[in-house]
């Protein structure tokens, strides 16, 4: 059983789209999507520096477009789909809930709304690797932080104000390693509440279809069969934690045997190697990875 997964914000790196533009038709596709996103996706994916693509309003449309383009180049028919945070919009499009253009229009609003919300208060996110989960969660609670991403495989992402994160750094949980993330705000927390209403307004003009492929939700890791419910979850997801651990538990329960992570891959396959032992994985980073991914389909 194959699951196709789309990564979230932070997976982007300068120039990651460059080798993909050599594939037939991909540059034309990205040019058309640039019109929808209101951004020059090709420029941002090839010549922009790390600071430019760290901008939430840029990173989110860029990531969704990259995942959709890579899925088109791969041409696989998965048994299951999932996306981490903003990657869930790419997964929803691949499941037929939204068209690619609708997903890119919605993620444009999402990125702008979340960037605006992040500008209200100086906030950030820190990955917590290792440590006992109950001790990590207790420490986050003590410092007023939110477990914004519960990723499984011994990884939780803490989110909150920079002051809260600084205090947390001074008193980390036992046996845990802290890694500040290159994101512009405390995503999937109450700090993003102002963005939910803008997302709701943008989603109100869409008529989603029910998914043609099983799609997992970040909210609880469950398969959601209603397009309307998926769209509602995409809206509220902005200020709610991502439960990727639950998504991986469902993957294991359904009998997933192979995972392909769409461009720019690496993060989710890394989690799978620790949280889904025995599942074969391929991360799409360059077009050279397409052959390995197609071998996985045989």
Q: What CATH number is given to the structural domain containing 259?
A: 3.40.366.10
Same domain for 52 and 112, yes or no, is yes
Kindly tell me if the per-residue pLDDT of 182 is higher than 80.
no
Grade residue 226 by pLDDT with cuts at 50, 70 and 90: very high
Q: What CATH number is given to the structural domain containing 127?
A: 3.30.70.250
Average pLDDT over the chain, rounded to whole? 96
Same domain for 7 and 90, yes or no, is yes
Grade residue 18 by pLDDT with cuts at 50, 70 and 90: very high
At 104-115, the pLDDT tens digits run 999 999 999 999
At 199-217, the pLDDT tens digits run 999 999 999 999 999 999 9
Q: Is 143 a catalytic residue?
A: no
Q: Is 239 a catalytic residue?
A: no
pLDDT of residue 183: 82
At 37-48, the pLDDT tens digits run 999 999 999 999
Q: Examine the fold and report which residue of 180, 215, 250 is the final residue of a domain before the chain moves on.
A: 180
Same domain for 144 and 245, yes or no, is no
pLDDT of residue 298: 79
Same domain for 127 and 114, yes or no, is no
Same domain for 232 and 272, yes or no, is yes
Query: How many distinct structural domains can be found in the chain?
Result: 2
Kindly tell me if the per-residue pLDDT of 269 is higher than 90.
yes
Same domain for 210 and 256, yes or no, is yes
Q: Domain range for residue 152?
A: 123-180
Same domain for 239 and 138, yes or no, is no
Catalytic residue among 84, 143, 188, 191: 188
Mean pLDDT calculated for residue range 162-178: 96
Same domain for 265 and 209, yes or no, is yes
Same domain for 36 and 169, yes or no, is no
Grade residue 155 by pLDDT with cuts at 50, 70 and 90: very high
At 282-294, the pLDDT tens digits run 999 999 999 999 9
Same domain for 251 and 139, yes or no, is no
Other C-beta atoms lying within 10 Å of the C-beta of residue 128: 26
Catalytic residue among 85, 217, 239, 246: 85
Same domain for 93 and 22, yes or no, is yes
CB 20 within 8 A of CB 67: no
Other C-beta atoms lying within 10 Å of the C-beta of residue 201: 12
How would you class 25 by CB atoms within 10 Å of its CB: exposed for 0-12, middle for 13-18, buried for 19 or more? exposed
What stretches of the chain show up as alpha helix (H) in DSSP?
A: 26-37, 41-46, 50-54, 56-74, 87-94, 100-118, 133-142, 162-170, 193-203, 227-236, 244-254, 267-275, 289-296
Same domain for 240 and 134, yes or no, is no
Low-confidence winner among 9-13, 41-45, 226-230 (lowest mean pLDDT): 9-13
Grade residue 95 by pLDDT with cuts at 50, 70 and 90: very high
Kindly tell me if the per-residue pLDDT of 246 is higher than 90.
yes
């Amino acid at each position: 059983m194959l699951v196709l997964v789309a990564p979230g914000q932070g997976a982007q790196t300068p120039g990651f789209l460059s080798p993909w533009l050599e594939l037939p038709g991909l540059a034309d596709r990205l040019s058309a999507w640039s019109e929808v996103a209101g951004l020059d996706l090709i420029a941002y994916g090839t010549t922009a520096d790390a600071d430019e693509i760290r901008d939430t309003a840029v990173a989110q449309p860029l990531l969704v477009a990259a995942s959709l383009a890579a899925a088109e180049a791969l041409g696989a028919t998965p048994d299951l789909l999932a996306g981490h945070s903003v990657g869930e919009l790419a997964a929803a499009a691949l499941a037929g809930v939204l068209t690619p253009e609708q997903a890119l229009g919605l993620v444009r609003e999402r990125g702008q709304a979340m960037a605006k919300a992040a500008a209200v208060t100086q906030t950030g996110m820190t990955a917590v690797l290792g440590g006992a989960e109950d001790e990590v969660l207790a420490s986050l609670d003590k410092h007023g932080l939110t477990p914004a991403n519960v990723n499984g495989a011994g990884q939780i992402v803490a989110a909150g104000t920079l002051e809260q994160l600084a205090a947390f750094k001074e008193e980390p949980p036992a046996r845990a390693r802290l890694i500040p993330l290159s994101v512009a705000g405390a995503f999937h927390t109450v700090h993003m509440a102002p963005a939910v209403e803008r997302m709701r307004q943008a989603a109100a003009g869409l008529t989603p279809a029910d998914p043609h492929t099983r799609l997992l939700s970040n909210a609880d890791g469950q398969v959601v069969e209603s397009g309307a419910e998926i769209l509602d979850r995409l809206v509220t997801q902005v200020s709610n934690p991502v439960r990727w651990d639950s998504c991986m538990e469902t993957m294991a329960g359904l009998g997933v045997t192979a995972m392909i992570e769409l461009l720019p891959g690496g993060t989710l396959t890394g989690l799978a190697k620790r949280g889904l032992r025995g599942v074969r994985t391929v991360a799409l980073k360059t077009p050279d990875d397409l052959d390995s991914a197609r071998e996985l389909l045989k």
